Amino acid sequence: MKFTPSSPNPQSIKIAGGRVIDPLSQRDEIADIYVVDGFIQRIVPVNDNSANTQDIHTDITINAEGKLVIPGAVDLCARLREPGQEYKGTIHSETQAAAAGGVTHLCCPPDTNPVIDSPAVAALIQERAHQSGYAHVLPIGAMTHDLEGTQLSEMHALQEAGCIGVAQLRNAIKDNRVLLRCLEYAATFDLTVFFQSVDLSLQGDGIVHESFTSTRLGLPGIPRSAETVALARDLLLVEQTGVTAHFGQLSCARSVEQIAAAQQRGLPVTADIAVHQLLFNDEAIDGFNSQYHVNPPFRSEIDRKALIDAIKSGVVTAITSDHQPHEVAAKSAPFAATEAGISSIETFLPMSFGLVRDGILSEQEWVTCIATTPASIIKIDAGKIAENSMANLSIFDPSAQWQLTPDALHSDGKNSPLLGKTISGRTCATIYNGRVVFQLS
Amino acid sequence: MSLAIPPHQLQLNEHGQLKHFLTTENLSTEILTEILDTAESFSSVGQQAVKKVPLLRGKTVVNLFFEASTRTRTTFELAAKRLSADVLNINISASATSKGESLMDMLWNLEAMDSDMFIVRHQDSGAPHFIASQVCPNVAIINAGDGRHAHPTQAMLDMYTIRKHKGDFRNLKVAIIGDITHSRVARSQVHALNGLQVGEVRVIGPKTLIPHDMEHLGAKVFYNMEQGLKDVDVVIMLRLQKERMNSALLPSEHEFYRLYGLTTEKLAFAKPDAIVMHPGPINRGVEIETAVADGPQSVILKQVNYGISVRMAVLSMAMSGQSTAITATSEAINGEHGA
């Protein structure tokens, strides 16, 4: 396995014989891609005999036969833990993990320490990411000062410092009037607001989905209404203010119904679902397995199926990793004392590709959910494969079988319920800004 | 991974014997009955001139209480001492964790002192399971109450009480009344009663105190005492924690007592020979009337006495099952080395 951080001097690369999939141009064909000086210079279908590629000099050839060549994934929610929680992960380690997972662009939520509520923190994160050179990190700013929910943050300054939106995450804004003002202020600058709708009073001391499983295990439950009640309020305030809104990591059938209803009445709202919500339901926590401790919690099988349906029907147009690396101790305690989250960025592509294997999505639709629409949601020029555009690509082998072990994860966080399991599908190489930043040997 | 093994499987060795005691859920009728029979055989030890049997001689039992308890801890201590074990009592207040020592480090230290058994009470559901699966798999772990999850020895002493006074479980109707949501005792009782094939299990309380999908757990839900107590043979009252009054679960003690408090009038809805039980400590005038608590149908004080022999049964069975498991493991290891 080889990592090479992206440097100012890009390489000349030929990606030979892969199945190139680009939803934006509706391309799905076997083709060679020539990358020169950071850009995709030519895309030549293999059966195009008229193409003359003699003039293109390449240093490196990557054989992509039998593999998918797709735009580098754009992940709308991945924790890097730096600054503040470097014992869980660093910008270097987690962007390296992103590269190994085929992710070239990722959004970093503002709950760092200090939180991303000042241009200095936003700049620091981008600078560190740039130095590491494995992936493009796009910070999301805090919507309120220190995420405390009382004082508006300097959203315009954050926007100028490179934040692609603002978020309050799962921190309370007790006063709905403050929330309303936040949305109005964000709308002033056309800043996208990233919601993770939760009513903390309804969540209470809950840690798992309120269900038969929570009753059996004696673990305090989180009712669906903790999400759906807050989501209803948030959608109405979005409608009132006209702010651009994205709803992240939904977990309930009723939530995606609400998003669909809002879209039907013309609200331009988008939504995503964390990849692990498509895999597991609330019964996974049996045996008090803290690797399945996530927030929002895994809900019922009915909810899980509704989330998949929402992706299939296009109500939800993005899948995120919701990557949350943790140190070992964070998961080694009685369930309620453990921290929520999964180190998931390296299994993001293979696990979401499961929807293709199960016949739910086409390859094109899968790429749309992990790269094309996420890029359009955050309004960046990525998530596509086109001549003269920046070369951000992932080469994915859908038939690879590999064992997930702690050593196989590049993330500092070894917390995954998939440890010890065989994973189908694997990222073989990742090209970021025209350089091979990861290649499986 | 061992982590994913549910408690009811983790607590059995390869011969299907108890090696830990974590929950009454999914335990076979045979094991549940064996616990009661073994307890019966210990019931006379307390009447002997020398109140000891040598079953746990030379074994070190650590009472590890992360939550305050007097009665449960004392009966466990007494049970272990009557089995001739060396007993260490450790009450861990919040201060131990504030010193920065993790739960795992503390347990490893105790294990390094060659402890054979931990009796664990912890505020987090699943804590004894975590210790048995992740920290000290070769120490017998006895659950003395974890969060809202389970309190299996309390449930077994209640089963013992019921069998003692009512005999065969199969024709009995048992009602559990009060705060089911926050009660580990209620959950363990429901599992044990169903495991012993009781005729019918009921829970009675307001919706704020009945957890989600309780029917699925194996209990019929009633919101009304008159309907819920009709034809019942056993009435089990639960302790109502005073702090619940302040968390919008109930309007007042007075209203709770009026609706669900066990008074002589309400007890009359049950069968005339119904027994009244309570895991204690009781709140007189909150969940139960003094006349009922001290009345002829009450077996509350007897429960405390039965608690010792039931805990002796569980301790001796788990120690024996754990020793078998360890012997089997070391034989397997030696076998591998030999080959």
Chain A interface includes B121 (CB < 8 A):
no
Please state whether the peptide bond connecting residue A296 to the residue before it is cis, i.e. omega within 30 degrees of 0: yes
A160: confidence class by pLDDT, cuts 50, 70, 90: very high
Report CA Rg, chain A.
Answer: 21
SS3 label, residue B324: helix
Distance, in Å, from the CA atom of A136 to the CA atom of A95, rounded to the nearest integer, reads: 8
Output the six-digit token pair for B171: 């024709």
Per CB-CB distance under 8 Å, the chain A contacts of B187 are 215-216, 218
pLDDT tens digit sequence for B228-269: 999 999 999 999 877 676 678 888 889 999 999 999 999 999
- Report how far Cα B152 is from the mean position of its chain's Cα atoms: 3
Q: Taking CB atoms and an 8 Å limit, are A287 and B134 in contact across chains?
A: no
User: What's the domain count of chain A?
Assistant: 1
Strands A103-108 and A136-139: parallel
pLDDT tens digit sequence for B177-187: 999 999 999 99
Length of chain B, in residues = 339
pLDDT at A7: 60
Q: Which amino acid is at A288?
A: F
pLDDT tens digit sequence for B53-79: 999 999 999 999 988 888 889 999 999
Cα–Cα separations (whole angstroms), residue A67 to A429, A436, B66, B74: 10, 16, 55, 67
- Report how far Cα B262 is from the mean position of its chain's Cα atoms: 23
Best of A209, A217, A283 to substitute, by most chain B Cβ atoms within 10 angstroms, is: A217
Distance, in Å, from the CA atom of A437 to the CA atom of A13, rounded to the nearest integer, reads: 12
Distance, in Å, from the CA atom of B11 to the CA atom of B19, rounded to the nearest integer, reads: 6
Output the six-digit token pair for A91: 């910008």
* Residue A3 in domain: no
Assess contact for A416 and A347: CB atoms under 8 A: yes
Q: Which of B258, B266, B254 is nearest to B291 (CA)?
A: B266
Assess contact for A327 and A290: CB atoms under 8 A: no
* Residue A209 in domain: yes
- Domain B152-302 superfamily per CATH: Aspartate/ornithine carbamoyltransferase (3.40.50.1370)
Size of interface A-B (CB pairs under 8 A): 91
The position carrying tokens 């020895």 is B153
Cα–Cα separations (whole angstroms), residue A439 to A4, A124, B247: 9, 28, 56
The H-or-E segment that residue A280 falls in is none
* Residue A29 in domain: no
Q: What are phi and psi of A48, to 5 degrees?
A: -90, 95
Q: Which of A306, A247, A238 is nearest to A266 (CA)?
A: A238
Choice between B97 and B213, residue whose per-residue pLDDT is larger? B213
> Nearest CA of chain B to the CA of A204: how many Å?
11
Q: Per-residue DSSP letters for B26-66? A: T--HHHHHHHHHHHHHHTTGGGSSS----TTTT-EEEEEES
Output the six-digit token pair for B58: 């030379």
* Residue A192 in domain: yes
Q: Which of A66, A142, A134 is nearest to A103 (CA)?
A: A134
pLDDT at B190: 98
Output the six-digit token pair for A407: 């050593």
pLDDT at B144: 97
Choose among A291, A334, A419: nearest Cβ to B126. A334
* Residue A297 in domain: yes
pLDDT at B330: 65
pLDDT tens digit sequence for B8-52: 789 999 999 999 999 999 999 999 999 999 999 999 888 888 888
Q: Which of A251, A253, A250 is nearest to A272 (CA)?
A: A250
Output the six-digit token pair for A412: 């500092």
If you ran DSSP here, which 8-state letter would residue B329 be given?
H
Q: Which residues of A79-91 are buried (b: 16+ CB within 10 A; e: fewer)?
A: bbbbbebeebbbb
Distance, in Å, from the CA atom of A69 to the CA atom of A97, rounded to the nearest integer, reads: 19
Residue B333, pLDDT > 70, answer no
* Residue A20 in domain: no
pLDDT tens digit sequence for A265-310: 999 999 999 999 999 999 999 999 999 999 999 999 999 999 999 9
pLDDT at B331: 65
What is the domain extent for residue A158? 71-377
pLDDT tens digit sequence for A257-273: 999 999 999 999 999 99
Assess contact for A222 and A276: CB atoms under 8 A: no
The position carrying tokens 């798992």 is A208
Q: What is the CATH number of the domain that holds A302?
A: 3.20.20.140
* Residue A364 in domain: yes
Distance, in Å, from the CA atom of B55 to the CA atom of B261, rounded to the nearest integer, reads: 43
B243 CB-contact burial (10 Å; exposed 0-12 / middle 13-18 / buried 19+): exposed
- Where does chain B hold its CATH 3.40.50.1370 domain(s)? 2-151+305-338, 152-302
Tell me the catalytic residues of A.
Answer: 322
Distance, in Å, from the CA atom of B258 to the CA atom of B285, rounded to the nearest integer, reads: 10
Q: Which of A244, A280, A263 is nearest to A315 (CA)?
A: A263
Count CA within 13 A, CB hemisphere, residue B132.
Answer: 32
* Residue A63 in domain: no
Q: Taking CB atoms and an 8 Å limit, are A334 and B213 in contact across chains?
A: no
CA angle A289, A291, A293 (to 5 degrees): 85
What does pLDDT average to over chain A?
Answer: 96
Chain B interface includes A203 (CB < 8 A):
no
- β-partners of residue A18 are A31
Taking the CA atoms of B299, B304, B305 and B306 in sequence, report the sign of the dihedral they define. positive
Q: Which of A5, A89, A59, A35 is nearest to A438 (CA)?
A: A5
Give me the mean pLDDT over the A196-207 stretch.
96
Assess contact for A252 and A227: CB atoms under 8 A: yes
Q: Taking CB atoms and an 8 Å limit, are B125 and A335 in contact across chains?
A: yes
Residue B3, pLDDT > 90, answer no
pLDDT tens digit sequence for A8-38: 566 899 999 999 999 999 999 999 999 999 9
SS3 label, residue B327: helix
Choose among A217, A287, A419: nearest Cβ to B125. A217
Q: Which of B271, B253, B260, B261 is nearest to B291 (CA)?
A: B261
If you ran DSSP here, which 8-state letter would residue A143 be given?
S
The H-or-E segment that residue B209 falls in is none
B2: confidence class by pLDDT, cuts 50, 70, 90: very low
Q: Per-residue DSSP letters for B218-230? A: T-EEES-HHHHHT
Chain B interface includes A215 (CB < 8 A):
yes
Q: Chain A: residue nearest B146 by CA?
A: A218
Chain A interface includes B125 (CB < 8 A):
yes
pLDDT at A2: 67
- Domain B2-151+305-338 superfamily per CATH: Aspartate/ornithine carbamoyltransferase (3.40.50.1370)
pLDDT tens digit sequence for A319-373: 999 999 999 999 999 999 999 999 999 999 999 999 999 999 999 999 999 999 9
Chain B interface includes A302 (CB < 8 A):
no
Q: Which of A382, A434, A432 is nearest to A133 (CA)?
A: A432
pLDDT at A210: 97
Q: Which of B134, B5, B1 is nearest to A418 (CA)?
A: B1
Q: Chain A: residue nearest B211 by CA?
A: A215
SS3 label, residue B119: strand
